[in-house]
Amino acid sequence: MTETTTELERIALKVLRGAPGPVGAYDVLEALKTVRPTAAAPTAYRTLAKLIDKGLAHRLESLNAYVACCAEHGGTAPLFSICDDCGVVGELADPAVASHLAAAVQREGFEAEKQVIELHGRCASCRSA
C-alpha cells in the first residue's frame, strides 16, 4: 500500500482479500465491529469508499458488492468478468478497450465521467464442469 491506511481500512481490505468472491458492505461491517463494536453501516460504506479512492478496492455495480483491487490499471478503468455460476471475479486493465469506448461515446457528443465495464457469464471452470 502506497498510502497510509487506517485500522478500519486495513480490516476491510483483509476481508476483501480473504474472500473467495465479492463481499457485501454488511460483511465488512461485521469485521469492523471487532474493533469498533458500535460501528454502523455508514462506517462500512465510508471505509470502502476510502479504499476505492486509494485504488485498493472496487465496487461491482451490478452486484452491489466489493472486491480488492488485484490489477495495475495505470489510470485506466478496469474490466471485470463475473461468473454467474461460482461468483469468481476476474479483473483486467486494457487501455485499448477503455480508450476505444471513450472515443466512441465522444463521437456521439457524450462525455463519460465514469467507466464501469462488467461482463457476466460463465468462467472456464464452470463451463467445463
pLDDT in tens, 6-62: 999 999 999 999 999 999 999 999 999 999 999 999 999 999 999 999 999 999 999
The most confident of the ranges 1-5, 79-83, 90-94 is 79-83
94 in the same domain as 59: no
113 three-state secondary structure:
coil
104 three-state secondary structure:
helix
- The number of CA neighbours under 13 Å toward the Cβ of 50 is 16
Range of the domain at 98: 79-128
Tell me whether residue 74 is in a domain: no
The predicted structure's pLDDT at residue 93: 87
95 in the same domain as 56: no
Name the pTM for this structure.
0.89
Known binding residue 83? Answer is yes
62 in the same domain as 42: yes
Q: In this structure, are strands 117-121 and 79-83 parallel, antiparallel, or unpaired?
A: parallel
C-alpha cell belonging to residue 60: 461491482
43 in the same domain as 85: no
Give the CATH number, domain containing residue 64. 1.10.10.10
Sign of CA dihedral 63, 65, 68, 69: positive
Tell me whether residue 58 is in a domain: yes
Known binding residue 69? Answer is no
